[in-house]
Amino acid sequence: MKYIKLNFIFGALLFASTGSYAQQEVIDTAAFSRIRKAELSSSQIPQIAHYLTDVSGPRLTNSPGYARAASWAVATMKKWGMTNAATEPWGTFGKQWEVQDFSMMMRAPYNAQIRAYPNPWSPGSTGLLQGEVMIITSAQAIDTVYLNSHATGFKGKFVLVTGEAADYKKDFEPSAERLADTALANLKDTYMVSRSMIDMYTTKYLKIFKTADRILKNAGALAFISAGRSNVNGTVFVQGRYGYKLTDPETVPQVTMASEDGQKIKRLIQSGQKVELAMSFTDKTSTEDTNGYNVVGEIPGTDPKLKSQLVMLGGHLDSWQAATGATDNAAGCIVMLEAVRLLDSLGLKPKRTIRIALWSGEEQGLLGSFGYVKSHFRDGVKFTVKPEQAKVSAYFNLDNGTGKIRGIFAQNNEKMKPIFEQWLKPFNDLGATTVTMANTGSTDHLAFDWAGIPGFQFVQDPIDYETRTHHSNMDDYDHLMIDDLKQAAIIVASFVYQASIRPEMLPRKPLVNETFVFDGF
């Protein structure tokens, strides 16, 4: 007792004598302890994860799987007693699409199953297609002069793009990792995509892809198959380049194949053998409802003066479709849903209103969050801010896989560093220690940052996100680290609650008048 008192006085003197210390945050550590205890004793994370992945299925934007997950999230938030739980349209997305049937076999020189997946929004095959394989290189695949001059050769063929075989020396390295203290101390800007990179993609490469695909379609090719060298060890990364917009041109069926199968076919052809494939592929495409939808829900604030203000949290609910998008990004949605469930079930009384938002269209260029921000907070063309923009204290995002929280990106907001350092202290024992000034990109907090609202993404352990699960056929429930998600839910719930009771809103960076980096997708 004496020690504590002396220490307190000494601390107070020190504080008074320097005067330059950052403002002391009044932290509700009792609430933090209750949140931690509740999560560790009665977590709902396994159940939420099961419904968002196994039960909903792949959640490609506007697909039936996305709709299942969104309906479940709305119904569940209502069941928990949250208010204003609903889906909210954010603008036009495009087609609804899902795979109903797909198989690929090698038929010559012998029968063998091929490990392959249809690309999202690809048209189906209208019946069983069988034909010879013709191989082109990845350089030839985007060389429209080459494709045009060889067009007659593509008729009735499966056009397969393969390059070099993979480097299997990588198998000697672990596929999953946690961040070392040295890595945390030296975090740099991460996942940054510049305006010029996006312009290069949308105005140059996307046009080339569309032209190349049109040449193959007009030439009568059976399908376009890519077997990139990263698709090894049973892990196949499957994305769609375009095809969801009503204005997108029709292509031949688009397929992604395991590298080992692609290399085998290439060696067979090189040794003079004729290789034939057979493919059956049925898709279901609809244009009945072309709107994109986010999911929102609220815990009302309890302070008469502050309840009109908001603290927001979220992550993107959409995924790719070769698996159930467990780490990208059911994980983020699981944590955010669990965080609001904890706050609600503990009867904590947030002063500001807490609003969760689960986005769609993130994988196509942060479409859902940017659409939401445009309709609520800031005009995308004139850059004028709307009244609601002044009422949001902060937005917290989670979208870097299943790894636990090791800190937070202050997103170059220097006033936030001392605040977050104080908030994070009670979680240092859980491995969350780092507040970095660095920026991170490529996910939905950027839309808020652009609108002048403090938007943050947490620093997470990578685990096997980059090597195994991100956009792959392996992104299923089994790759979730449930204990890591519990740790993340404890920290997110505490941060959101703390932001809701803080006397002032969180400090902002100056508003910048520039086009949103992902605008134009």
- Please report how close the Cβ of residue 1 comes to Zn ion at its closest, in angstroms: 50
349: left (phi over 0), alpha (psi -120 to 50) or beta: beta
Strands 116-118 and 254-257: antiparallel
- Please report how close the Cβ of residue 90 comes to Zn ion at its closest, in angstroms: 17
- Please report how close the Cβ of residue 471 comes to Zn ion at its closest, in angstroms: 8
| Piece of 96-104, 131-139, 335-343, 395-403 that binds Zn ion (CB under 5 A) | 395-403
The size of the interface with Zn ion (CB under 5 A), counted in residues, is 3
509 by Cβ neighbours in 10 Å (0-12 / 13-18 / 19+) ranks as: middle
Q: Is 484 in the site for Zn ion (CB under 5 A)?
A: no
Is the CB of 329 or the CB of 494 nearer to Zn ion?
329
Is the CB of 125 or the CB of 235 nearer to Zn ion?
235
Q: Which of 399, 444, 475, 476 binds Zn ion (CB under 5 A)?
A: 399
| Piece of 188-196, 320-328, 350-358, 405-413 that binds Zn ion (CB under 5 A) | 320-328
Record the tokens describing residue 231, joined without a space. Answer: 């698709």
- Please report how close the Cβ of residue 511 comes to Zn ion at its closest, in angstroms: 26
Three-state secondary-structure class, residue 386: coil
Cα dihedral: 329, 330, 331, 335 (round 10) = 120
Q: Which of 46, 38, 33 is nearest to 485 (CA)?
A: 46
Is the CB of 261 or the CB of 399 nearer to Zn ion?
399
| Piece of 89-97, 103-111, 324-332, 389-397 that binds Zn ion (CB under 5 A) | 324-332
Beta bridge partners of 294: 88
| Piece of 12-20, 261-269, 396-404, 424-432 that binds Zn ion (CB under 5 A) | 396-404
Q: Where are the alpha helices (DSSP H) in 150-191?
A: 181-185
Is the CB of 57 or the CB of 123 nearer to Zn ion?
57
Q: Is 464 in the site for Zn ion (CB under 5 A)?
A: no
Record the tokens describing residue 298, joined without a space. Answer: 């609220």
Q: Which of 96, 294, 329, 494 binds Zn ion (CB under 5 A)?
A: 329
Is the CB of 399 or the CB of 449 nearer to Zn ion?
399
Query: Measured between alpha carbons, how far is 17 from 277 in angstroms, rounded to an integer?
Result: 79
Query: Measured between alpha carbons, how far is 19 from 233 in angstroms, rounded to an integer?
Result: 59
Query: Measured between alpha carbons, how far is 519 from 382 in angstroms, rounded to an integer?
Result: 13
Question: Could you tell me how far CA 401 lies from the centroid of its own chain?
Answer: 8
Q: Is 98 in the site for Zn ion (CB under 5 A)?
A: no
Three-state secondary-structure class, residue 77: helix
- Please report how close the Cβ of residue 137 comes to Zn ion at its closest, in angstroms: 30
Cα separations in angstroms, 110 against 107, 162, 275, 363? 5, 21, 9, 38
Q: Does residue 109 have a cis peptide bond before it, meaning omega lies within 30 degrees of 0?
A: yes
E-only strand ranges, 249-308: 254-257, 276-286, 291-299
- Order of strands, sheet of 254-257, starting from the edge strand that comes earlier in the sequence: 112-113, 96-108, 276-286, 129-136, 157-161, 223-226, 254-257, 116-118
Q: Is 402 in the site for Zn ion (CB under 5 A)?
A: no
- Please report how close the Cβ of residue 440 comes to Zn ion at its closest, in angstroms: 12
Is the CB of 328 or the CB of 464 nearer to Zn ion?
328
Is the CB of 34 or the CB of 59 nearer to Zn ion?
59
Is the CB of 329 or the CB of 487 nearer to Zn ion?
329
- Please report how close the Cβ of residue 327 comes to Zn ion at its closest, in angstroms: 9
Residues recorded for the chain: 521
Cα separations in angstroms, 428 against 225, 405, 438, 494? 48, 10, 20, 13
Query: Measured between alpha carbons, how far is 476 from 222 in angstroms, rounded to an integer?
Result: 31
Q: Is 440 in the site for Zn ion (CB under 5 A)?
A: no
Query: Measured between alpha carbons, how far is 323 from 153 in angstroms, rounded to an integer?
Result: 35
Q: Is 318 in the site for Zn ion (CB under 5 A)?
A: no
- Please report how close the Cβ of residue 399 comes to Zn ion at its closest, in angstroms: 4
Is the CB of 224 or the CB of 320 nearer to Zn ion?
320
- Please report how close the Cβ of residue 24 comes to Zn ion at its closest, in angstroms: 36
Instruction: Specify the residue for token string 């012998």.
Output: 110
237: left (phi over 0), alpha (psi -120 to 50) or beta: beta
Is the CB of 243 or the CB of 441 nearer to Zn ion?
441
Record the tokens describing residue 130, joined without a space. Answer: 């069988």
| Piece of 24-32, 41-49, 52-60, 392-400 that binds Zn ion (CB under 5 A) | 392-400
Q: Which of 285, 279, 223 is nearest to 251 (CA)?
A: 223
- Please report how close the Cβ of residue 353 comes to Zn ion at its closest, in angstroms: 26
Q: Which of 39, 213, 261, 328 binds Zn ion (CB under 5 A)?
A: 328
Query: Measured between alpha carbons, how far is 302 from 393 in angstroms, rounded to an integer?
Result: 16
Is the CB of 364 or the CB of 494 nearer to Zn ion?
364
| Piece of 258-266, 399-407, 457-465, 481-489 that binds Zn ion (CB under 5 A) | 399-407
Instruction: Give, as ranges, the residues between 210 and 269 that touch Zn ion (CB under 5 A).
Output: none
- Please report how close the Cβ of residue 356 comes to Zn ion at its closest, in angstroms: 17
- Please report how close the Cβ of residue 349 comes to Zn ion at its closest, in angstroms: 33
| Piece of 36-44, 167-175, 327-335, 487-495 that binds Zn ion (CB under 5 A) | 327-335
Is the CB of 366 or the CB of 416 nearer to Zn ion?
366
Q: Is 39 in the site for Zn ion (CB under 5 A)?
A: no
- List residues binding Zn ion (CB under 5 A): 328-329, 399
